[in-house]
Amino acid sequence: MTHPVSPLAPKTYVDMPPVRGVRMATAAAGIKYKGRTDVLMMVFDAPAAVAGVFTRSKCPSAPVDFCRQNLSGGVARAVVVNSGNANAFTGSKGRASTQMTAEAAAEAIGCSTREVFLASTGVIGEPLDATKFSGVLGDLATSATEDFWLEAAKAIMTTDTYPKVATATADIGGVPVRINGIAKGAGMIAPDMATMLSFVVTDADIAPSALQALLSAGVAPSFNSVTVDSDTSTSDTLLLFATGAAAGEGQVRIEDGGDPRLDSFRSALNTVLKNLALQVVRDGEGARKMVEVTVEGAENDAAAKRIALSIANSPLVKTAVAGEDANWGRVVMAVGKAGEHADRDRLSIWFGNVRVAFEGERDPSYDEAATTAVMEQEDIPIRVDLGIGLGRATVYTCDLTKAYVEINGDYRS
């Protein structure tokens, strides 16, 4: 089923220049969707450093298990991604499918299966027929091109209504480097990795251990701070690759993630990760509004984040946002149920710049018209001050509409 493009989608797509050292190609294998691409292959002509972060689900997909095993090698030559089937909860058939795909990719590239990384997204519990796309990998490896980022993003979409791309530049020791990324995600989105697939590539020369440190830190304020429906996917995969091509321009290889020469790169990488994560929220299934929830004055940052997620994941808060109803009582409810220290009589709440509650009761200067004006916007900030400490956190979510139920009510059909 085709769904209307989210009203929160970008009005234009950013220009995605090539990243030296990586090529991409896509194909339509008919795994689930008809008349659209559903297989992506990324090819690294020289061994690339790789880092990864995956779902914390106790029921991970076969490709997640496969990637975790290969990540210890720290080297990538190929990535194969399919949409339409998650290859999750598929038992021995799923493992056989990943092995068949990896062997086909390794043969096409001329590398070891240990240098192949896989990801699948789509329906859970349906066996994936790897022959549908493993046979096209040879052609993809040959036809892959550098200038293909937007098409690559389109090939990994499921219920997404638009492709998600981001790019940034940085410098390492005075040498310019580029970072490009793509992502998919619209439903089954919650932290621990937030629900999605994302692939980020840089031409910087950075060792795998340093790359891993950068990525692990970068997901906290980005992909692990977004939620659409509180459900963590079986397939969440975020992979970061460094092709090392910038070494040809004189960039000295970076071995330590704490190296001060990485300051510019770290900032640019975090910008790309947050950009992609927010695009996922803005494409939340059926979403018409994006909500930024900030909690401050909590006992500590961890408590602030748990309270913020309690608010962001509350169906009652999210449906109130959908109905443009400034129902701050539901925010009070979500704070109270979070299980963290809170003092009702110190609690203050803002919708946008309008304070609606102060020190445990409705604000004495509460203005219904001003609050309604905030709720009519596409982007709605909600801020809560607990008044008991210095803890602070911000998370991002979207509203909950009838369309979410419609999309997920017939997802398998």
Query: Per residue, what are the HEC states of 237-253?
Result: EEEEEECCHHHHHCCCC
**Encoding tokens for residue 301?**
């940052």
Amino acid at 122: G
Catalytic residue (choose from 121, 195, 243, 397): 195
CB 99 within 8 A of CB 80: no
CB 98 within 8 A of CB 63: yes
d(CA 184, CA 175): 31
Residue with tokens 């109803």: 325
Residues 6+ apart with CB under 8 A from 5: 161, 162
Residue 161 is among the residues annotated as catalytic for this protein: no
Of the candidates 350, 347, 345, 379, which has an alpha carbon nearest to the alpha carbon of residue 366?
Answer: 350
C-beta neighbour count of 147 within 10 angstroms:
12
CA-wise closest residue to 201 among 328, 43, 357: 43
Sign of CA dihedral 228, 300, 341, 379: negative
Q: List the 290-298 sheet strands across, edge first.
A: 361-362, 354-358, 348-351, 379-385, 290-298, 391-398
Chain position carrying tokens 């909600």: 382
- Residues with Cβ within 8 Å of 328's Cβ and at least 6 positions away in sequence, in order, are 349, 351, 356, 357
Q: What are phi and psi of 98, to 5 degrees?
A: -65, -40
Q: List the one residue out of 273, 287, 278 whose CA is nearest residue 401.
A: 287
Question: How buried is 122 (Cβ within 10 angstroms: 0-12 exposed, 13-18 middle, 19+ buried)?
Answer: buried
Angle at 103 between CA 102 and CA 106, to 5 degrees: 85
Q: What gap in Å lies between CA 43 and CA 30, rounded to an integer?
A: 22
As annotated, the active-site residues are: 195
